[in-house]
């Protein structure tokens, strides 16, 4: 009888050990799963936050015209005063010509003329890139046809400011809002579950 009781005790002990081991393994698996979920949630939260900040801080240059000139011309040399260019502004020229031309931009300030751009181009459509006017002054434009050949020209010149615009601010605010909601959900989403579990356990 003692032997049988001993065998039964061993069976019960083994069963309890297996049960305890199974429970431990289940808890470890659940803990690993929760840890992985929190890790990926954190990565997602950081990514959304970085994107939101990038949207808020990303500037887009915007050109604001101060003075502009537009007109047609037929001849071998075109001269005009585009207008006054404040310090820090920029100038650009768009031109089409039937003959090769040389484009010159000068800024006059206190009786001194400072060339800021001078280049030769073949016939066709020409775009002079944004050119700084430096300390500012009155902007003069000269277009000379190569070999003094009379040719038709269509000329557009402008003086403008480059200002920074932030058109993606709404997207940045939205992204940070999503990140905030995700953070709140991650931080406090488990509280009701813990609270209800505690109440059930105490009951």
Look over the chain and give the mean of its residue pLDDT values, rounded to a whole number.
77
Closest CA to 117 of 80, 142, 151, 83: 142
Does the domain at 61-165 match CATH 2.60.120.260? Answer given as yes
Query: Under a CB-based contact definition with an 8 Å cutoff, are residues 107 and 134 in contact?
Result: yes
Q: Span 175-200, mean pLDDT? A: 59
β-bridge partners, 103 = 119, 143
Q: Which pLDDT value is given to residue 13? A: 54
CA distances from 40 to 31, 109, 147, 176 (A): 14, 62, 70, 18
Going from N- to C-terminal start, the domains of the chain cover: 2-58+167-202, 61-165
Query: What whole-number percentage of the chain has pLDDT above 70?
Result: 68
pTM assigned to the model: 0.54
Which H or E element spans position 192?
A: helix 191-202
Residue 33's pLDDT band (cuts 50, 70, 90)? low
Residue 129's pLDDT band (cuts 50, 70, 90)? confident
3-state secondary structure at position 133: coil
Reported as a single tens digit per residue, the pLDDT across 72-120 is 999 999 999 999 999 989 999 999 999 999 999 999 998 889 999 999 9
Q: Which pLDDT value is given to residue 151? A: 93
In the block, which residue shows the tokens 């059930």? 200
């Amino acid at each position: 009888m003692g032997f049988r009781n001993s065998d039964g005790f061993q069976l019960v002990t083994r069963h309890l050990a297996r049960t305890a081991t199974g429970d431990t393994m289940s808890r470890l698996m659940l803990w690993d799963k929760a840890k992985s979920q929190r890790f990926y949630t954190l990565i997602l939260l950081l990514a959304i936050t970085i994107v939101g900040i990038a949207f808020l801080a990303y500037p887009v240059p915007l050109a604001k015209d101060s003075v502009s000139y537009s007109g047609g011309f037929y001849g071998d040399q075109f001269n005009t005063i585009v207008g006054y260019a404040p310090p820090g502004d920029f100038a650009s020229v768009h031109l089409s010509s039937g003959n090769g031309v040389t484009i010159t931009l000068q800024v006059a300030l206190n009786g001194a003329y400072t060339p800021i751009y001078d280049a030769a181009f073949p016939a066709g459509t020409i775009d002079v890139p944004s050119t700084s006017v430096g300390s500012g002054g009155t902007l003069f434009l000269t277009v000379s046809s190569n070999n003094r050949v009379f040719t038709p020209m269509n000329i557009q010149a402008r003086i403008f400011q480059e200002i920074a615009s932030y058109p993606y601010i709404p997207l940045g605010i939205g992204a940070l809002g999503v990140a905030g909601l995700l953070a709140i959900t991650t931080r406090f989403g488990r509280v009701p579950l813990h609270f209800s579990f505690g109440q059930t356990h105490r009951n």
